Structure formats: C-alpha cells, structure tokens
Structure 1
Amino acid sequence: MSTKDAPMLDATLQLDEGRLREDSGRTPETADVSAIYDRSVLLMQAAAVGADAASGARESGWKGDWLVLLQALCKLTVTQASAGDPAPLFTAERLRQEIASLVGDPEAQWWSDESDTARKKFTNAWRALENDIGRIEENLCGRAISSRVAGIVTLSTPTRLGTTNAMGYGLSVSPIALPATAAAEPPPITNAPVGQLPANCPIDYLEEMEAYPIPGLKKPLKISLSGWRAALITLPVVIGLAIAGLLSWFLLALLASDVSPRALLQAAVLTGVIGGLVAWLCHPFYTLIHDRIVRAPTFLEARLPLGHVLLIRREGEDRVLRMVRYTATCPVCEGEITIEKGRRRLRGRLIGECGRNPVEHVFSFDFITRRGERL
C-alpha cells in the first residue's frame, strides 16, 4: 500500500473518567472533556443528518460523485464521532472503500481500484463537493431543524495525517439557530397505524438542492428581479396581450371584408389555435406574478427529477426568481411527496402528491411555512 493512500490513523479519543488524576499529577480538566464530548455528539448528529440528505438526494434522481462522497464521509464520521472523536479524518483510500460499499457493482470497481484513474476520480469528486455542497445547504438546514440538531456539516480543509504523505479528509459543524419549540407539538405519526393517524396529518416539506436545468451551464436558475430585470417576468404577459390584440383586430378586419364564409371559418380556427398556444405559453408567467409560485415547465425538468417549482421570494434586500424542489415523507405510507398541480376540486392549487398513491395521499402546500395537511 502506498504512503499516499495509507489507511485512516486509528487515533480514537479515549475518555478515562475513572481516574481522578492524570499521570502528571494534575486534576483532569472535566470542562474540556465535557466540551469534547459535546462537540462529538453535535458532529455525530449533524453527520447523520448529512448522510440522510445525501441519500435522499440520490434516491430522488440527483446525479454526481460528490453526493455519494458526502454520504460516505458522513457515515464514517457518525461512526468515529460516536466513539468520542470530535474531529475524525479519513484517507482517500478509506473513503473510496466506503463509497464502493454504497454504490455496489459494477460501479464499485471504479472506486475500490488502486489505479491512478480511481485516485483521479476521487480528487474530482472532492473538488465537486467543495463547489456544490452549498446546493444542499437548505435541505441540510431543514432536516437539522426538524431533528432539533443545532448545526449542519461543512467541509474541513484537508490536512496531512501525522508524518505521512496521506491527506486526511473530514467534516466540521456550522452552528444554526433552532426555532423555539412549540408549547404543544403533535405526536410523531410516521410509524403510526393508518387508523390512528390524525385527520389532518401535518407534514413538513424540505427544500432540496438548487436545480441546474440548463444543460452545459453549471449555474442554478436564479434571476434577480431588481431594476429592469423585473421585465423578464412581465414581458411574456405583455407580448401575449399584444398578440391577442393583433389577432382580435385581424378577425374584426375579416368580418368587415367580403371574404367567403369558408375563408372566414378557416381564419377563425387558425386564430383560435394561435391564441390558445399563446395563452398556454403566457399563463405560467401570469400565475407566477399573481401567486409568486408556479409549477416549473416540464422542459426545464428534462434532465432532473420531477416536482420543481418556480417561485419569487425575498433573499435579503432583493427579490429573486428561483427553481427549487420541495419534498416530504408521506405519513400514511412513507412514500415521497412532491409538488404537483391540483386536479378536480383542487384545480388551481399546488399540492403535495405521494408517489405511491397520488390520488388518495394528497396534502396542502404552503411554500412560506413549508408545512401541509392532508386534504
């Protein structure tokens, strides 16, 4: 085994609370021991949230080696942090072995192989993780708040392990503010029998990572609507109204002319088709302006999982247009809930539909509070 890919140094922190004095004769710093234990517990909890977020993103169809690398790093960190290590580090070889166990054959051979190709694959995945971990930050925060964990995982700077040439890769914790706990929270209902579920079945939606809908452009769909950029939203509606006016003038001109009834009928049908197409294209923009949120067009999801929305919201002092995806876990069957257009009596609303039973397991959707209830 090369020095570069040496296995992880087994330097598990030992907390010997049975001794009253250290070998030097001094009293142990119990406050330091308690602080180390608290950091280990918080790291373990945050890493568990990170592993669930990465796993959920992969199950939702998101691609990228950096996601499986994050999942492997979080899983290993949970194990080491639970043993009392507040800052565990892992070599590239150990991480590649864990990734191979996660992805399974035949992809595992690309990770577990000792060739230069496998090492380069890991290096590229780590660089992508450094660049893209911000895409999953909202999801991490939502999951951490739901689990009452006061921090989310961030990447530590790779450091050398001891006197070897091997680099150690690890995680740290970025603290977050937890909202005050409500006086009377509803009891957990995820695993409750169907007959005992509350009538409203409250659920919490999680905001997933930002979407990159345009092939070849590694940027999320984020448009600032300050100044003249606000016209990007209103311009399609204005153009649609102008086309509707021209079509109306065209029909009125035909009615006032001496064309045959057959030609007039053909012109009316053609005008109706064009008008319907323009209305279909402009209606999402009108809904977005009016409701601040609309179901994302399907052509933007050609390479992405379904269930995205376009929404206008404030971020700091600016109003921005974003394309995001909200998901939740169905309290009835534990399926994945995504946002879709309402049907029948729910027409005109965005609702949460369960992937297992989209007809019966239907929930409301509030994109401000990110909560919903069964409909």
Structure 2
Amino acid sequence: MEALEKQEEMVVDDDLASPQDYLSGLLCLQGFLRHVRKTTKPYRVLQAWLDYEIQRISEGHNTSQYDAENLRACFGETGDKTASAWMASTWKVLNDFEAAHGEGLRSWAAQHGYSGFCLPSKLVSPGGAGNTSKFFFRFIAVTQKQTASSQSEALTPDTPVQYIMDTQIQPAWWIGWLLKSGYRLYGWRKWLFFIYFMTILIGVVIYVFTVLISAVYSHYFFNNSTEFIVSAITIGVCGWLFLSPIVRLFNWRITMAPALLTAYKEIDDTQLELMSLPHDKNGAKKAIRLVRYSAVCPICLGKISLRSGGRRYPGRLVGRCEEVPAEHVFSFDRMRKIGVLLH
C-alpha cells in the first residue's frame, strides 16, 4: 500500500463540514451503497476507496485527495495500464453518480438521521509534468427540514416503510441518446418516445386488420388464411405485451419497465415513471424516467424491492422483501414514498 502513503491531506474547512459531519457523510454513502448493492467494477472501486477513507478519518486523519495510483492501490489491482488509463473507465461511471443516485442519497440521509452525505468528486489537473487529477469526497449537508423526517422510533412490523428512489436506471443502448439529460425524457424527446410506440401500435393494428380481411375474403387475397390468422394472434399478443406498460404508465403514472428499455445489467425491479417536473407549479409538464424504488424492511431489515402486485394485488406495485417475498409485502404510495404492511 505504498502508493496510499502519498495521498495529500487537506484540512477540513469548518465552515463547510466538521470532521464529525464529514465522517457522517461517508458513513451515509457507505450504508447507501450496501443497500443498493451494485457490483460493477466502478462501484467496487468506490466501495474500497470509501472504506479506506472512513478508516483514516476514524483514526483522526484529515480528509484526503487521492490520485489514480492511490485508488488503484485501494482496490488492490495491478496491471499493464497506467493508473490514469485504469481510472478513466471507472470515473466515466462515477462522474454520473450524483445524477443517478443524488435523490436517493438525500432521502437515505434524511431517513437515517445523517447530517449529510458524500459524493465522489474530481479536481481536474491543470496539466504539466507532475500534475495529476485528484479525487476526493465532497460533503453535502442535509437541511434541517429534511432531517426532521428521519425515523427515530424502533422498527416494528407496523412501522410504515419509507421508500427511496435509490437509482436512476441506465437505459438500453437504443434509447440512451434520448436520456442524456439527467436520465429523463421530457419535451420533444418525450414525444419522440411516444411516437415510436404509437408507430408500433399502428403497425400491429394494420397488420391484424389486414389478416382479418384476408380471412373473410381469402379467395381474393391469400390462399392459406389459417397461417395469417395464427401470425396475427402472435403479433397481437406480442404487441400488447410490449405496449401495455405505456398504457399503464398513462393510467397509473408508474409501472414496471419493459426489459427492452433497460440495459441488461439493470433489468431487475426497474420502474417506468411519469412525473411532474419540479419547476412546473401547475403540474402540466411531465417527464419520463427509468428508476428503482426500494426500502428497508421493518420486520427483518432486508431490502424491499418494488414489483408488480400480480394476481393478489392487480393493477398495483407492491414492495416485497427480498428475504421473505411472500409474507413481507408492503403497499407503495408514489407521492408520499411510504408503504404499510399488507395483511
């Protein structure tokens, strides 16, 4: 760990964050990462870096700036690549950490009584020999109003669960270019998204209608109408499975996202949400986003994931504990972000 001994210490600015607040922010981020449980390499590098920084602060050291070589030493990896090249692909993901997880982190800090949270940040090198980019954790305080909503009572089975939007989901490659601005679809991008699905719907309807006509007037159009009827039923069912999430999105404002919209590694427990834009007081302007809601189970402290209600709770999304999914089932109030045990 020789490389770790070369990181630069900085004195914590008391006007920005006390050492206690900074440690609280680090612990908040650590707890959040353990809850989200993303296991890709950038997140594992972040976890190793975070664990090392928490250890140093707990031992009384000041907050530090790390270069790429320090972070590679934290992760315990060696290779032929230079440290900066090794870190480039990792930072490409971590650079979007706030956009993907900022909302969830704020909720997590408020619910668990932390004074704030930390985010991975980068101080870009000015260039020149011996100058390298530095990486550090930036502390963000949680306002008093947010902290007041934290849970202070002991958890019981009747304790309402508090959901957080822990992740804005990485979209599939074909829609990724539409979601470049904050993982959301709004304005012309949103309507282009709807036009795509409406085009598919119109195509399916025209094809099914053509097949029905051919079945009635088969001697004019097709010799084997049975083949076309079977194909029409197949295409109709597939079209409905593909388009029904969009219908439910309009009706219920949130639904489980079709697998076609999400990257393969994000395919589980992903929701498609139609939300009002924060700056629109009238609520007329809407945006679409791919998200994942979760909570902590008050019964067994397992992770609650939002899933379809199925036959027992038709038309609803419910929170199911990953440890006891059949019994630890909770409602989901999208606006208040809370749920109660469903008996």
Q: Bin the TM-score by the shorter chain.
A: 0.7 to 0.9
1:139·1:206 contact (CA, 8 Å) conserved in 2? Answer: yes
| Aligned residue number for residue 307 of structure 1 | 269
Whether 1:54 and 2:33 are equivalent positions in the alignment is yes
**Structure 1 pair 242–89 and aligned structure 2 pair: CA distance change class (3 A):** closer
Out of 333, 340, 345, which is 2:300 matched to?
333
Which sits farther off after the overlay, 220-229 or 287-296?
A: 220-229
Deviation of the 1:225 alpha carbon: 3.1
Structure having the higher Rg: 1
| Aligned residue number for residue 232 of structure 1 | 193
RMSD across aligned C-alpha pairs, in angstroms?
A: 4.1
In 2, Cα distance between the equivalents of 1:95 and 1:184?
33
Matches within 5 A, 1:210-221: 210-215=168-173, 221=179
Matches within 5 A, 1:199-278: 199=158, 201-215=159-173, 221=179, 222-227=183-188, 229-230=190-191, 232-233=193-194, 236-237=197-198, 240=201, 243-244=204-205, 247-248=208-209, 251=212, 254-255=215-216, 268-278=229-239
1:49·1:143 contact (CA, 8 Å) conserved in 2? Answer: yes
Out of 318, 328, 333, which is 1:361 matched to?
328
| Aligned residue number for residue 91 of structure 2 | 127
Matches within 5 A, 1:24-103: 35=14, 39-57=18-36, 59-61=37-39, 63-65=40-42, 67-85=43-61, 87-90=63-66, 92=68, 94-100=70-76
**Structure 1 pair 254–11 and aligned structure 2 pair: CA distance change class (3 A):** closer
Question: Normalized against structure 2, the TM-score is what?
Answer: 0.75
Deviation of the 1:282 alpha carbon: 1.9
Whether 1:370 and 2:340 are equivalent positions in the alignment is no
Deviation of the 1:44 alpha carbon: 0.3
**Structure 1 pair 183–342 and aligned structure 2 pair: CA distance change class (3 A):** closer
Whether 1:174 and 2:140 are equivalent positions in the alignment is yes
1:211·1:220 contact (CA, 8 Å) conserved in 2? Answer: no
**Structure 1 pair 223–209 and aligned structure 2 pair: CA distance change class (3 A):** closer
Query: Which amino acid is 1:179 matched to?
Result: K
In 2, Cα distance between the equivalents of 1:6 and 1:280?
53
In 1, Cα distance between the equivalents of 2:215 and 2:26?
70
For 2:291, what is the secondary structure of its paired residue?
A: strand
Deviation of the 1:239 alpha carbon: 5.2
Which sits farther off after the overlay, 301-310 or 88-97?
A: 88-97
Deviation of the 1:216 alpha carbon: 9.0
Mark the runs of 5 or more structure 1 residues left unpaired by the alignment: 14-31, 101-110, 190-196
Whether 1:136 and 2:113 are equivalent positions in the alignment is no
In 1, Cα distance between the equivalents of 2:196 and 2:337?
30
Question: Normalized against structure 1, the TM-score is what?
Answer: 0.70
In 1, Cα distance between the equivalents of 2:216 and 2:255?
38
1:156·1:172 contact (CA, 8 Å) conserved in 2? Answer: no
1:60·1:305 contact (CA, 8 Å) conserved in 2? Answer: no
Deviation of the 1:41 alpha carbon: 0.9
In 1, Cα distance between the equivalents of 2:184 and 2:131?
44
In 2, Cα distance between the equivalents of 1:83 and 1:306?
39
For 2:109, what is the secondary structure of its paired residue?
A: helix
2:204·2:235 contact (CA, 8 Å) conserved in 1? Answer: no
**Structure 1 pair 127–345 and aligned structure 2 pair: CA distance change class (3 A):** closer
Deviation of the 1:43 alpha carbon: 0.5
Out of 249, 270, 281, which is 2:242 matched to?
281
Count of residue pairs brought into register by the alignment = 326
Which sits farther off after the overlay, 122-131 or 178-187?
A: 178-187
Q: Deviations over 1:31-81 (max 9, x none)?
A: x99x48961111100011122233444x344x133x223223322332333
Q: Deviations over 1:178-208 (max 9, x none)?
A: 435669967232xxxxxxx334x42122223
2:9·2:62 contact (CA, 8 Å) conserved in 1? Answer: no
**Structure 1 pair 277–167 and aligned structure 2 pair: CA distance change class (3 A):** closer
In 2, Cα distance between the equivalents of 1:145 and 1:60?
22
2:304·2:322 contact (CA, 8 Å) conserved in 1? Answer: yes
Deviation of the 1:87 alpha carbon: 3.2
